[in-house]
Chain A
Amino acid sequence: MIELLLQHPLLAALIALVGLGVAFGALLGFAAVRFRTEGNPIVDQINAILPQTQCGQCGHPGCRPYAEAIAAGEDINKCPPGGQAGIEALADLLDREVIPLDAEHGEEKLPQVAYIREDECIGCTKCIQACPVDAILGAAKHMHTVIVSECTGCDLCVEPCPVDCIDMIPQQQSLQTWHWQLPESSPRSADIIATDAGEAA
């Protein structure tokens, strides 16, 4: 056998290469089965950036479905609660172009919270069924109320209310939530020498 191979180097090379091919093929095949990843990891990463308001303004029933749609190639500018910052983060992650928010799906608003005018609530439970994060408390024929700390401000509860007793109110700024804003930097005056500012203007 060895003699045969020594006499026919071409055959030896052929056998060696085929052998290597088979061995590495088997290894890769095994790895593909053994280290298989369940689901699409990019969907999880996209979902982590989405604000999880579950508001459905993007046209998908929740944030995860939209994350899946983005992974499948949909535009990244359909999430108003995430705003421009969210679009930037998505663009960064997916290496896509930063595009402005699609106005068709709504505008970027200040964070809101649902408020039920409790005197007017008739206890129909419709808003409870609509709330995607179980943030409304109540029972049939009993007054309902919103657990403010759990509310995502998605306003899905507003539409089903038969007596229209739910308001979306912007979240109050308090001493705890207030913070310094970046100094105003108008693009014209910021990076110009003070003595030249007058001429430029």
Chain B
Amino acid sequence: MRKIHDFHGGIHPPENKLQSLGSPVRDAGIPAQLVLPLAQHIGAPAVPLVNVGDRVLKGQKIADAAGAVSAGLHAPTSGTIAAIESRQVAHPSGFSAPCIVIDCDGEDRWAELPAPVRFEELDSETILARIREAGIAGMGGAGFPAAVKLGLRPGTRIETLIINGTECEPYITADDVLMRERAPEIVRGAQILARLVQPGETVIGVEDNKPEAIQALRAAAEGSDIQIAVFPTKYPSGGEKQLIEILTGKQVPSGGLPADIGVVCQNVGTTVAVRAAVEEGRPLISRITTVTGEAVSQPQNFEVLIGTPMSHLLQLAGYDAGKNRRLVMGGPMMGFTVPDPGVPIVKTTNCILAPTEAELPSPPPAQACIRCGLCAQACPASLLPQQLYWFARGREFEKAEMHNLFDCIECGACSYVCPSNIPLVQYYRAAKAEVLQLRRDAEKAEHSRLRFEARQERLEREEAEKEARRIARKKAAEEKARLAAESGGGEIDPVQAAIERAKAKKAAQAAGAGTGESDQEKLEKAVVTTRERLAKAEEKLATARSEGSEHIAALETGVEKTRAKLAAAEKALGDYQVQHPGNGENDEPATGDAAQAAIQRAMAARAAEASKSPLEKARDNLEKLEARLAKSEARLAEGRAAGEEDKIIEALESSVERLKERAAAARAELEAQEAG
């Protein structure tokens, strides 16, 4: 039998658990719509993978984990994504948060799942990957992503793996029925976790007010090396640190993690979800939730899909809104009032409490602290609640921190015992938040200061550089003036020199190039620009035609006009070149365009030809024809040798014939010219 330790403080509030234990777990069915908040866990909110209108199947991943400390989200049933928007969620602030809304189709069709395996066949990496993939967040209430907790730093040695089946908070029985009905799964899940963390021992801790659960677990753990530890009921023995102390006698150091003292702790609900994820590949899409309180006629436990509106469950349990003044998510000690019954069940919702006013009266007005010290006796974290209260009230947060404010687990034991009804926990929560806010502000201020200083530095540097440049320019100008004064005798100042240079340039222009050259340039430019315009106009026309535009006719006339202009410009240039043959011949085209150059050359040649005497013309003509004839004959011979087609040979022959005729004519003309 395992030695059971005790922790400091604790209280014994009425348990009120029997009400909801009368019937087995009931399936809550599929509501018309599911609302899945993207942040159901501690850490970064998940990132949606689906779009509005997408069809999703049961178990399909619809949002992915963002970063190391985060958990994914899966469709709890098949349906259509109706919206991805802000909806009111279960949070004490009553704020809205981004949610994925699914319109359920009622078919409940599963996405394809991997074949069931026994975990013994898988290696540790695969097991951890499956847990991460299943989006499991701690189901005891805090919602810490399970895979992060299980992914231990290398070299960490774990003495004890604790499975937390304590469920110490009044009213809640979700873990109790889970242990009664699914003990074998819990044992199997515990074995999977043991495989991952390799502990010296594995203990399932249960309070002694759950005899049926203990019996079921003992039967299931028969033959395995898993111990079932039973200890006296006391609130809050289900707190992680308290349970560790009960089972091992060791205290988690302030600000430390259980892993620091060789312990890993997981909730029984998480353990069952881990088994389903690893052996069946089923993600976390449902959980067991207790619906209880005197305002429901049939308090009981439901197996409920994540995202089901609370109102759906309340209706199944026979909720009487008239009797109920406020709805609480969680238990009476640590739960919070929800703003609206329409908010969805999330992965951490273990209980919905609908009490009557008589059952859970609203707190009487707070009175003065009388320093009775009951809170210090009740505090399970061995803190000094009354000191923390004074510090929080006086906004002396530094002192509160010195008194280990951050070790407070917000269990509410101090408020429970306080004879003055002071809402102590709210003071601590606010103080913690203030401290964190101050830290964030200080960080932001430091960041801003660095940016401001960097900017100041940059501005100063730029100013200095500007100043340096200005001085350098000034010096250079002085130096130049001095040099000029030394070499040029002093009279010539730069302005005078510039005027001289301008004058000289003008004179050279007037003397050197005749006006003709600039005229020709003008004409050439006109030809070039007109050609460009024509090309553009044609392009436009082509696109207009291909698009079937209504401006085709207008564009066509435009093209015609431009073409006429081009012809006129070319003619003008040609005429000019005929008149000034000397200029045209060695005049390089102004533009570097190769095509343009060729055109210019051809024009020049034409102009040169025009200036030749008829005799010369005739001789040139003959020479050209003879050259072409020779080429054609060569081509014909080639074609014959290569055995070309008859058609081609024939065409070549006829062209040779024609050239021969024209050559003969040209020769005759030349002779006539020579004679003449």
What residues of chain A have their CB less than 8 Å away from a CB belonging to chain B?
47-48, 50-54, 62-63, 85, 132-135, 150, 152, 173-175, 178-183, 185, 189-194, 197
Contact = CB atoms under 8 A, between A and B. Distances in A.
Interface string B447-490: 11101101110000000000000000000000000000000000
Contacts of B95: 173-175, 178
Contacts of B456: 62
Contact of A175 (B93, B423, B437, B446): B93
A96 to B, nearest CB: 18
A152 B437 contact: no
A63 B367 contact: no
Given A190-B366, A193-B367, A50 B445 contact: yes
Given A53-B448, A175-B95, A182 B393 contact: yes
B365 A182 contact: no
Given A179-B436, A191-B368, A52 B426 contact: no
Most buried by B among A51, A135, A179, A193: A179
Given A173-B95, A194-B367, A180 B448 contact: no
Interface in B634-666: none
A68 to B, nearest CB: 14
Contacts of A189: 365
A54 B368 contact: no
Interface stretch (B252-260, B427-435, B572-580, B620-628): B427-435
A183 B366 contact: yes
Interface in B389-443: 392-393, 395, 423, 426-427, 429-431, 433-434, 436-437, 441-442
B154 interface: no
30 contacts: A48-B442, A48-B445, A48-B446, A50-B445, A51-B445, A53-B448, A63-B449, A132-B455, A134-B455, A135-B451, A150-B447, A150-B448, A152-B444, A152-B448, A173-B93, A175-B95, A175-B97, A179-B429, A179-B430, A179-B433, A179-B434, A179-B437, A180-B430, A182-B426, A182-B430, A183-B423, A190-B366, A191-B367, A194-B367, A197-B365
A193 to B, nearest CB: 6
Contacts of A191: 367-368
B437 A194 contact: no
A175 B455 contact: no
A163 to B, nearest CB: 24
Contacts of A47: 449
B448 A182 contact: no
Nearest to A178: B93
A179 B449 CA distance: 26
Contacts of A52: 444-446, 448-449, 452
A180 B429 contact: yes
A201 B442 CA distance: 42
B92 interface: yes
Contacts of A192: 367-368
A182 B449 contact: no
Contact of A134 (B39, B431, B451): B451
A49 to B, nearest CB: 9
B427 A182 contact: yes
A191 B429 CA distance: 21
Contacts of A150: 447-448, 451
A161 B94 CA distance: 38
B455 A183 contact: no
B206 to A, nearest CB: 32
Interface string B345-380: 000000000000000000011111000000000000
B91 interface: yes
B368 A132 contact: no
Contacts of B426: 180, 182-183
Interface in B490-545: none
A151 to B, nearest CB: 9
Contacts of A134: 451, 454-455
Contacts of A193: 367-368
A63 B444 CA distance: 14
A180 B433 contact: yes
A178 B436 CA distance: 11
A193 B448 CA distance: 48
Contacts of A63: 449, 452
Nearest to A111: B441
A51 B441 CA distance: 8
Nearest to B426: A183
A52 B441 CA distance: 10
B436 to A, nearest CB: 7
Contacts of A178: 91, 93, 95
A180 B39 CA distance: 19
A149 B364 CA distance: 43
User: Which 8 A-B pairs have CB atoms at the shortest separation, nearest pair first?
Assistant: A179-B433, A180-B429, A191-B368, A52-B445, A52-B448, A178-B93, A133-B451, A52-B449
Contacts of A133: 448, 451-452, 455
